[in-house]
Structure 1
Amino acid sequence: MKLKLLTSVLTIALISGPITGVADAATYSNGTATATFLVSLTLQANCTITANPLAFGTNGVLTTALNQQTTVAVDCTNTTPYNVGLDGGTVSGSTVTSRLMAGTATGNTTTTVAFQLYQDSGHTTVWGNTQGTNTVGGTGSGSAQSINVYGQIPVQATPRPDTYQTTVTATVYF
């Protein structure tokens, strides 16, 4: 009986031809599909500012003007117009036109030393914080731009020995 069944299966296979419906990896492939998507960024006009300290060093009697310089760096988006202003500082009574540093020792915080900040090395244009009047303008490039700040302590009566200081705020307007 087994032999008869095997003979019947072989006969059917020979008559009907090759068996179909079996996947052949060489003749079938996966399909593909694609999609696109938008990538975007909106840049707004923007600026950042950093400032370096201005140190006049150590001195004795203030019989000659002391000159030093420092920099502020402005980084604005490309083509963004800006103005940089410097305020009068944190010492009581200090203004843009009459800047003061105060003593830091206990009991000496009301003693002051006058100084000024200028836009130019010739010390002719005071640097203030009124846009269009005494600020320094420019146009952003997309990279940091360094701007010189020229400081001067003029000849004056020399107060008692101490460390004199103030904090000036640099502001970028854009």
Structure 2
Amino acid sequence: MRSASLRSVAVLALLAAAAPALAADDSTTFDVTITITSSCTISATAPTDVNFGSVASTATNVDAQGQLVVTCTPGTAYTIALDNGQNGSDVNSRKMSDGTTEVPYQLYRAAARGSGDVWGSTTGSGGNVLAGSGSGAAQNIPVYGRTPSANFPAATYSDVVTATITY
């Protein structure tokens, strides 16, 4: 009998060791957040200038194209304004200068270069800024230029225009 009792105790000990221990658990939740703000950058480097090149003084309606590069947060609405340049009193009087003589030119938002395509800095109703939406990648924005006449003294003429992005 004694061996049966010992055997029973041994079996119970083995069962107790094999039985899972009672465990307790608890849980909680937490937030994971990020706040992404809209961002836009604009750049125009020398290779994207509006360069009319060398033309004969008899040339008319000389066209050129430059480019701005815009990078904005996806879905961010923006507008790009171009000022009057250093020599213009408004967008309709932009001029390149050699320091003495001035050659008129215009900048446009569309290749058609129509009067409704003039690119300026007026926002709102009747505005002449360029509107777009960010994609998260660099976007190439063409700038179309035209000088109506090259009938001016032989020289190198230039102007500096400031592009401003608002988002």
| TM-score, normalising length: structure 1 | 0.69
Deviation at 1:94, TM superposition (A): 4.0
Matched residue SS, 1:97: helix
> Which residue is equivalent to 1:141?
135
> Which residue is equivalent to 1:45?
38
Matched residue SS, 2:105: strand
Q: In the alignment, residue 110 of structure 1 is paired with which amino acid?
A: T
> Which residue is equivalent to 2:90?
95
Deviation at 1:63, TM superposition (A): 3.6
> Which residue is equivalent to 1:173?
166
Deviation at 1:140, TM superposition (A): 0.8
Q: In structure 1, what is the Cα distance between the partners aligned to 2:34 and 2:86? A: 40
Query: How many pairs are equivalent?
Result: 131
Deviation at 1:42, TM superposition (A): 2.9
Q: For the structure 1 residues 145 and 122, does the alpha-carbon distance in structure 2 shift closer, same or farther, using more than 3 Å as the test?
A: same
> Which residue is equivalent to 2:153?
160
Contact 1:101 1:112 in 2 (8 A): yes
Deviation at 1:152, TM superposition (A): 0.2
Deviations 1:49-101 (A, max 9, x none): 0122111000121442100111111111111100011111012x442111100
| TM-score, normalising length: structure 2 | 0.72
Q: In structure 2, what is the Cα distance between the partners aligned to 1:62 and 1:172? A: 37
Unaligned 5+ runs, structure 1 = 1-36, 104-108
Deviation at 1:139, TM superposition (A): 0.9
> Which residue is equivalent to 2:122?
130
Give the alignment's Cα RMSD to 1 decimal: 1.8
Contact 1:94 1:100 in 2 (8 A): no
Q: In structure 1, what is the Cα distance between the partners aligned to 2:79 and 2:107? A: 16
Q: For the structure 1 residues 100 and 62, does the alpha-carbon distance in structure 2 shift closer, same or farther, using more than 3 Å as the test?
A: farther
**4+ aligned runs moved over 6 Å, structure 1:** none
> Which structure shows the higher helix fraction?
2
Q: In structure 2, what is the Cα distance between the partners aligned to 1:70 and 1:59? A: 17
Contact 2:71 2:136 in 1 (8 A): yes
Q: In structure 2, what is the Cα distance between the partners aligned to 1:62 and 1:115? A: 16
Residue 62 of structure 2 corresponds to residue 58 of structure 1: no
2:145 to 124, 140, 151: 151
Matched residue SS, 1:147: strand
Q: Select the structure of larger CA radius of gyration.
A: 1
Contact 2:57 2:154 in 1 (8 A): no
2:110 to 114, 120, 125: 120
